[in-house]
Structure 1
């Protein structure tokens, strides 16, 4: 599996395909058509790889960055950037993923453009709706993952406990141990 889905919503997991965003050399998880195909299948949005092209990679990255700009604006309490709004709205107007009922249940298929349209629509609902108040960025300094804090009390600190939470807690434990020994 090439991708992670810790955020509670696919559009935020999609934003997380650029890992360590503020680092000098962030890790691009949508660098090739194959990685774009993998993201749509691993996310469960499509059952079959859509057959991404190099131009689809460019479109996916542009949409991802527009979604991030909108989410960052909501996190900071800023006005939504017009270019990012236009980009998301353009994609949101696209055709939906095709659903078919078959002997084994629901089958989801479509192109990269259809998958991006679904992500854009989800972004519109999230950024423009009440759940925008639940947006948080992971507290681990090296992580820039954004997630929805649906925890009781809304005090969740990390995108995922098994990764970032464990790293922070282990680092804090090691720091306490070395301070006690000093």
Structure 2
């Protein structure tokens, strides 16, 4: 798959970027990226997202190498907000 043609990209008259690719070109680009990652030092930093409902993998490029989420905007933020709500929840009902 990595030997398939590269996706074609061009700029139209309105200076918009357009891609003229089919599924083969898209799969070829993904396959080339995978081959490059497998052969690089970054491969040791591939992680699985810590969210229980995700199976997404990502390359942890953080300084410490301890990132747990595929992205803080989605998975990490939801998890942190949920833990915060759980900690702040009053386990005892207030006296009326």
> TM-score when scaled to structure 1?
0.44
Deviation readout 1:101-152 (Å, 9 max, x if unpaired): 6552764322111111111111100122211112111111111111111112
Shift >6 Å, 4+ stretches: none
The answer for the alignment partner of 2:65 in structure 1 is 154
Q: Does the C-alpha gap of structure 1 residues 177 and 107 become closer, same or farther in structure 2, counting only changes over 3 Å?
A: closer
Structure 1: runs of 5 or more not aligned = 1-90
Tell me how many residue pairs correspond in the alignment: 91
1:1-182 matches, within 5 Å, as 91-100=1-10, 103=13, 104=15, 107-178=18-89, 181-182=91-92
Q: Secondary structure at 1:181's aligned position in 2?
A: coil
Which structure is higher in RCO with an 8 Å CA cutoff and minimum separation 6?
A: 1
Q: Superposition RMSD on alpha carbons, in Å?
A: 2.0
- Whole-angstrom CA distance in 2 between matches of 1:173 and 1:105: 43
Instruction: Give the number of the structure whose alpha-carbon radius of gyration is greater.
Output: 2
The structure with the greater share of residues assigned to helix is 1
Q: Secondary structure at 2:47's aligned position in 1?
A: strand
> TM-score when scaled to structure 2?
0.78
- Whole-angstrom CA distance in 2 between matches of 1:170 and 1:95: 44
